[in-house]
Each structure stands twice: as structure tokens, then as C-alpha cells.
A and B are shown apart, each in its own frame.
Chain A
Amino acid sequence: MLSCCVAILPAIPIAYLLVRAGGSGSDAWRSTLESDLVAIAARSLALSLLVAIGTIAIAVPYAFLVVRSDLPARRIWALVGALPLVVPSYVGAFALLGAFGPRGMLRELLAPLGVERLPEIYGFGGALVVLVLFTYPYVLLLVAASWRRIDTSLERAARGMGRTSWQAFRSATLPQLRSSIVAGSLLAALYALGDFGVVSILRVDTFTRQIYLRYGALFDREGAAILGLVLCAITFGVLAIERRVLRGDQRGARRRIAARDDREPVRLGRWRWPALAFVTTVALFSLVIPLAVLSWWLASLGADGLWADRIAATAGAAGASLVASGLGAGAAAVLALPVAILLVRAPGRLPSIIETIVYGGYALPGLVAALGLTYFATRTAFWLYQSLTLLVVAYVIRFLPQAVGATRAALERIDPALESAARGLGQGMFGSFRRVTLPLAGPGIAAGAMLVFLTVMKELPATLVLRPTGFESLATEIWNQTSVSDYQDAALPALVLVALSAIPLWLLVIRPGSGVDTARGSTAPPGDSGAGD
């Protein structure tokens, strides 16, 4: 019931698309669909799937290194690995272009050495790399969170029976990680599908770019809505692939949660150096270079007497961003819970429809979601229109799957028998939920809320349409600065955005006792907490 109510929210923009596209004549459908849309759809789908694969390829080994190995300073690396999440992908694309573009900084540096050509950053390959670099933390955060909680005794047992480490990993550990790998890579894949900034900056003709072209240059709402519906269909296709191919046998993947174990880290030995090279390279491209370019731009502004204004505007925007993101994260975490519980505990046709709708809202470009809310709010709840509340609703619609994915991955690792046991010991439904389920799923829920928080910090298109008049967030401030001039003026709000986002990430990833981190291994394992053993 509750989850049906939650699913109404993401259904709003989809219903809006049906209203808009349904209201247009058959001519509009024909002229919109007859152009080379098949090629564009194929390109979008390919980009999205390759982004998913790329993020897994980086995030899973990375998660192993920071969770299970004796990599030096691994808690620092855990934070560093998650940090690219706080770089808005459009800012990242611009910064990498500043470094690696045809006349970028790197070329200037290498030119004296006789290097004439760098690999082309524009186009499909460049967009793929940039999207992977700034979305792999979605996978990393979820996979690392579940890796810290899984039962390593199985893997030890497998090795004890003569399997190699790799075989033990594949047969014992991977199945337990599968749901978080799928949840994370799905987030990355759908993010790539709905992203506009990277593909437009790096010139890849994808579906989202076509939708923006309809609005932006053709003033064609009907055409945009028709394309929006096709994008929904593609999203549903990605979801179907995810269900059929990747998820496999769910029940087989569900394992009881970790018994007490000593968590002896895997010794890397001489592999330590390639491992360090790997994490360093990832950090270099996804974090160090973009931040260095931004800092360089900031420094190049020089002392021009405008700093007081800049700092005041940025400080105000920072406050607004924190409030809006906090509200969005809290609301999404709470609303994700009933949906995730339904998906895990009572899978079936209705829950999978609800899931599809929830993810549908996520892959739609922000402008579409915002216009859908505009349409319904101005007609049914005008007092809500352009209020902070409606803005938070928009954030929930856009990013709920991040919270659902994380919460669901956490719930899937809880043995329902624990809840039954609690009920058998006299706890009511609510009691067993509160004393067993929530504590066990807590880290997953927190990780989901954090993902939403960090994504809302960067959100732009829906914020522009739905914000209360006068509301300026860091993202709108970046937009204000870049809509006219070069990226230099956006460097300050962009750097503040990164710095502010890093704080909650630090709390989540590094701080001892924060739940996600069990690196100290001194706290009681969660399996003991509520079940009363």
C-alpha cells in the first residue's frame, strides 16, 4: 500500500509525458520518429551499458582493495574513491576538456616534447570515459558497504577446500555482492542515459541531447514528450536486461549475514604496487586533475576586487544547497524503505511495476520531470508550486532509485528468519522491524541517503524550474556564472560544492563506528545486535 503511494510520485512525469505526447497529432509522431532515431537510441543504449560495465570494472577491484586488502592507508583511499561522486559530471567534463582538450593544458605541456596529438576526447569514447570516471563511486559505495557485511567464512571455507583465491571469490563472495553490484551499476547506467551535460559538452548525439534540442531550439514540447516516452521505453529495456541477465537467481544470492569473524585482511604482498598504481590512476583522472584545473581557473581570476561579492554569493548558495540536499536525502531515504521492503520481501508483478516506474523517473532528463511537476502542481496544488516542498518532491522523483537500490541491497542480505525469530520471541511486526531489520539495514539506508544527498547537491535542471524565487544553490550559481562567460567564474562555487560534499562523505566512509566502516573490526557484528542471541 505504502509503496504504491510512493510510486505515484515518479509516475507524475511519466503521466505528464503521456498527456503531452497523447495530445499531439499523428503528424508529430511521424515527424519525430522518422528521423534517424534508431541510431540515436542504439548509441544511447550502448553508452549506458558500457558505462555500467566500466563502473563495475573500476569499482569492484577498488572495493576489494579498500575493504578486504592490506592496502596502505586504505581508509583514505576509500574516501578518495568515493569523492568523484561530488564532482558534477558537467564540471568534470569541462575540467577534463581544459586538461586534455585539443588546446588543453596537457598539450601545452607536452608540445615541447614533440607530442602533437592526444587521444580524441570529443565523441563517444571520451564521453564514456568521463561518465565512468564520475559515476563509478555509485557502484563503489554500494559494493564496499555490502562487502564489509558479508560472510567471509564461506570464502575461507572454499579456499580451505583447495580452491584458488579467484575461484573462492567467484563462488563464495561474488554471489553475495551481486545485488549491490547490480544496484550500483544500474544507477550509473541510468544516470548516463539521462545525463545531458557530458554528452553535450563532448558532442555525442544521444537521446537526452535530442530531447533538449526539441525544447531548446525547436520549441517543440510534443516532440520532446514523444522522445521522452521512447527514453522511458529504453529505460524499461535496461531494467529488463538487468532483471533477466544480471540478477539471476535472487534466492541463491541471498545469504545470511555475517557471523562473527576476525576479518583478516588479504595480504597484497608484491601486488601492493600495482594496486597502489591502480587507485592512484583512478584518483588522478577523476579527482586530482579536475580539481587542479578548477583551482587553476580560480587562481587565474586574480585580485580583481570582486571577491567579496563572489564569496557572499557562494556562501549563501552553500547554505541553500545543504538544506535542500538534506531534505531531499531524508525524504528519499524514508520513502525508499517501503518500496525496498516490498521488492525484497514480496517480489511479484505489482512490485516489479512499481520498481519500473520508480526507475523510469530516474532516467528522465531533469527538465522533463520538472515540467511534469509544473503541469500537475499548477493545476491541482498551486500553493505548492515553486515552494521548497515541491522542489524536494522533485528530488525524490529524480533520485529515489539511489535510495531504493542501496536499501534493497542491504535488505537482501538479511535473513528473513531473523525477523521471524524476533517475532517468535514476542516482538510485534513493528518491533521486529525496528529491532532487527532497521539496525541491520542501517548502513545501506545511510549509504542510499548519502548518494541522494550528493546527487541533489549537483542537480540543476529541475532546480531552475521549481526553486522558490530567489533560491540560489551552488549548482544554480555555477549555472549563473557559466551561462555567459568562461568556466573561471564558476570555479569557486564548484570547489565549494566539492568541499562541502566531501564532509558527509567523510562521515559515512571513514569515521569509525559510522556503520559502513568496520575496518577497526572492534565493534560487535550486526548479526548480534537485535536478534537476542
Chain B
Amino acid sequence: MTPRPAPRRTLARLSTLAIVAIAATIVAGCASDDEGSSNDSAESGSSDALVVYSGREKEIVEPLYERFEEETGIDLEVRYADSAAMAAQLQEEGDRSPADVFYAQDAGAIGVIEPLLAELPAELVADVPAQFRDRQGRWTGVTGRVRTLVYNTDEYSETDLPESVFGVLEPEWKGKVGVAPTNASFIAFVTAMRLELGDERTKEFLEGLVENDAQIYEKNGPIVDAVGKGEVEVGLVNHYYLWERLEKDADLPIANHFFAPNDIGNLVNTSAIGILASADNRDAAEQLVQFMLTEGQEFIVNDAPEREYPLSVTTDIASNERYRELPSLASIKAPDVDLSNLGEELEATVALIRESGLGS
């Protein structure tokens, strides 16, 4: 006999690995089966933990959820994913969804699952102005964020910057503006512009951006980083990324510039929360919504780095030092449209963005 050949050993190792893997899979499968049926584990959708689908980022909202758990003693099971992907996931799950609550990054994402949501008790959302919640009471805005022009403070001062968002089409800004044309927040902004100023004017704006060699990015965050590094001088983004970055590095040469009051460039959009009709933990779910609109608002205003706008009228920011540089919500243009139900309007917007040559 020759010595035991190498391939045999490989095979032995390989089959051991495979057998272990399969056995482990089966065990894991059975384990999760048991958990599912006996409902006694914190890992599965058991009745005593509240399941939250969070389209908002872990880094931003985890402290908020932890505060809620401390205050109420209710356990949360939080899943994090991209808001839009999560909305699609909730649609596929339908009324079998394990989720009790969906906290979405924007009104558009929660708008598509409206049919799956339960109506919120009216007194729960009474302090949120009507324009920031669903007309049929199925979801409510929690925080507001404003479109803004982030700029590099080494290169420019506030007075150099345009009064209107159309100002970035001037020749002096050629190649210096960052935009994220495939990002949901930019598409919502362009949609609002279309509804406010018409398709013609909006098309001019988009084509102007192309002619002015606007720099394309995938998301808002990278634009803010690019402005900080001087890769571009200014960028059209949401206001709250700036503060998160300044928190980490106070020396970054970036600041937000808001356009003149009521300019379409200052559009406001909201993060939004709703309770699934299929939730089997309605009480706890309502407690979470209530928390978000009361103590949660205080936390957002005083402790969270992002400096989003609280939407409950009971939370005051007028005298808050952290909001000194931010314009009041009242001075910001809110177009007369339902941002959660843009459906075909979004389609038309994307077609316009594509025609303009900005999309690719």
C-alpha cells in the first residue's frame, strides 16, 4: 500500500465539515421552530417583547430605544435595515408580519405600507401638527429634517451663498455642487419642486445642474464628507448629517446654509412611526409611539447629535442653544402635498431626472 493519499484526508475533513454543518443547520432549524411554537424565547416573536422594524439607523436611534426599555420595562426586539427595503419586506410579509411597529426614515417609506397599519388613537398624536401625520391617522411624523446647502467654511462664508436653490445654477458654482439624484430625499425634493413650480421650471433646474457639472453622489452622507474634504464646495443634502460629523470632529470646515424663508430649497420631510394592524402587542406599541412623541422628543432635542426638529408642539426649541443656528420650522416651506403618497408623481420625477441627464 502507498501512504494514505492526500485527497483522502481532504475528503475526510470536508465530509466531516459538511456533516457538522448540516447537523448544525438542522439543530438550528429545530431550535428556531421550538422557539417559534412555544413562544417563550426572547429571540423569536414572543408575546412579551415588542418587535420594532427600524428603518432609522442603529447609530442614531439605539439610545432612544434603550431609554424606552429603561423607562417602561418593556423589552424591544429591534431589526435594522434600509427603510425602503424594509417597507418592501413588510409588504411581502403582509398580515403575517412579525413586526409590531415600523419606524421609517421618511414619509414615503411608511406611505407604501399604509394599508397594513392600524389607526393610532387620536389623543396619542394630538400634539403633532396635522401636516406632519397621515390624514387617516395611521402614522405620525416623529422628527423633521430640512433640505439645506452644506458648504465648506474654508472656501466660503454665509454671505457668498445663494438665497434660492436656483442660485447653484450660476456659473460661479460650476463643478462645485454635490447632489444625490437617485436618493429618496432628493427625489422627494424634486417632486415637491415639480408640484410647486411646474415641470418646465423643474426641468430647467435639473438641466442647469447637469450643465453646471454638478457632482453625483449616492447618498447625503458622502456629500457632507466630500464637502468636509473639499472634494466639492457645496452640496444639496438634509440638515442633520452635519451635526453628527461635527460631534466627532468639531474642526471639520462644514456648515449648513438655509435658503431664504419659503424657498423650495428648504423642503421639510419627516421620519415617521406606525403600528402594524397585525401587531399582537398593541398596548406596548402604543406606549412606544407615545414615548417617541413625549420623552423621546426631549431626548432628540437635548441629547441626540443630529439636531432634528421635534414635531410635537409641546417640545420647545425656540430657547434651545443647540438650535440657535437653525431656522424655525414655521419659516420653512412645506409644499401643499402629501409626501407619503407621491406614487406616480415619483415616477414622473424620476423620468424627468433621467431626461435631464442627471440620473446617470
- Listed in ascending order, the chain A residues whose CB lies under 8 Å from chain B are 31, 35-36, 101-103, 200-201, 203, 205, 209, 213, 215-221, 224, 323, 326-327, 329-331, 333-334, 367, 370-371, 374-375, 378-379, 382-389, 392, 438-440, 442-443, 445-446, 449, 461, 464-465, 467-470, 476, 480-481, 483-486, 513-516, 518, 523-524, 526, 528-529
Q: Which residues does chain B contribute within 8 Å of A518, judged by CB atoms?
A: 6
18 contacts between A and B (CB under 8 A): A217-B350, A224-B88, A334-B18, A384-B33, A387-B28, A389-B28, A438-B11, A442-B14, A446-B10, A449-B18, A467-B79, A469-B51, A469-B77, A484-B60, A484-B241, A516-B10, A524-B5, A524-B6
Residues of A within 8 A of B225 (CB): 486
Tell me if B89 and A331 are in contact (CB < 8 A).
Answer: no
Q: How far apart sit A446 and B10, CA to CA, in the bound complex (Å)?
A: 8
Instruction: Note all chain B residues with C-beta closer than 8 A to A515.
Output: 6-7, 9-11
Cα separation A357 to B57 with both chains bound (whole Å): 36
A469 to B80, CA, bound (A): 9
- How near does chain B come to A116, taking the closest CB pair, in angstroms? 14
4 A-B pairs with the lowest CB-CB distances in the bound complex, closest first: A330-B21, A515-B10, A387-B32, A389-B29
Q: When the two chains form the complex, which single residue of A35, A219, A443, A486 contacts B351, counting CB atoms closer than 8 Å?
A: A35
State how many angstroms separate the Cβ of B308 from the closest Cβ of chain A: 13
The answer to whether A216 touches B82 (Cβ under 8 A) is yes
- In the bound assembly, the distance between CA atoms of A91 and B79 in angstroms comes to 23
Question: Quick one: which of B5, B26, B60, B216 has the most chain A CB within 10 A?
Answer: B5
Using A438-B11, A446-B14, A524-B2 as known contacts, say yes or no to A464 and B25 having CB atoms under 8 A apart: no
State in angstroms the CA–CA spacing of A216 and B96 once bound together.
23
Instruction: Give A36 to B356 CA distance when docked, in angstroms.
Output: 13
Interface residue SS majority, chain A: helix
5 more A-B contacts (CB under 8 A) besides A518-B6, A526-B5?
A: A382-B36, A383-B36, A386-B98, A513-B9, A514-B10
Q: What's the Cα separation between A50 and B96 when bound, in Å?
A: 44
Say whether B137 faces chain A, with CB atoms less than 8 Å apart. Answer: no
Please encode chain B, from 166 to 188, with 1 for each CB lying within 8 Å of some chain A CB and 0 for all others.
Answer: 00000000000000001110010
Given known pairs A102-B231, A465-B81, the reply for A485 and B91 (CB within 8 Å) is: no
Interface bin, chain B: 35 or more
CA distance A378 to B184 in the complex (A): 28
Q: CA separation between A442 and B25, bound complex, in Å?
A: 22
Most chain B CB inside 10 Å of its own CB: which residue of A31, A205, A388, A389? A389
A213–B7 touching, CB < 8 Å: no
Alpha-carbon separation in the docked complex, A200 to B10 (Å): 40
Chain A residue at smallest Cβ distance from B97 = A378
Contact of B33 among A383, A439, A465 (CB under 8 A): A383
Contact yes or no, B6 A484, CB < 8 A = no
- CB-CB under 8 A from A326, the residues of chain B are 17, 21, 24
Report B-chain residues with C-beta under 8 Å of the C-beta of A103.
Answer: 226, 229-231
Candidates B77, B85, B93, B351; contact of A215 at CB < 8 Å: B85
Distance in Å from the Cβ of A153 to the closest Cβ of chain B? Answer: 20
Q: Which residues in A have their C-beta under 8 angstroms from that of B3? A: 523-524
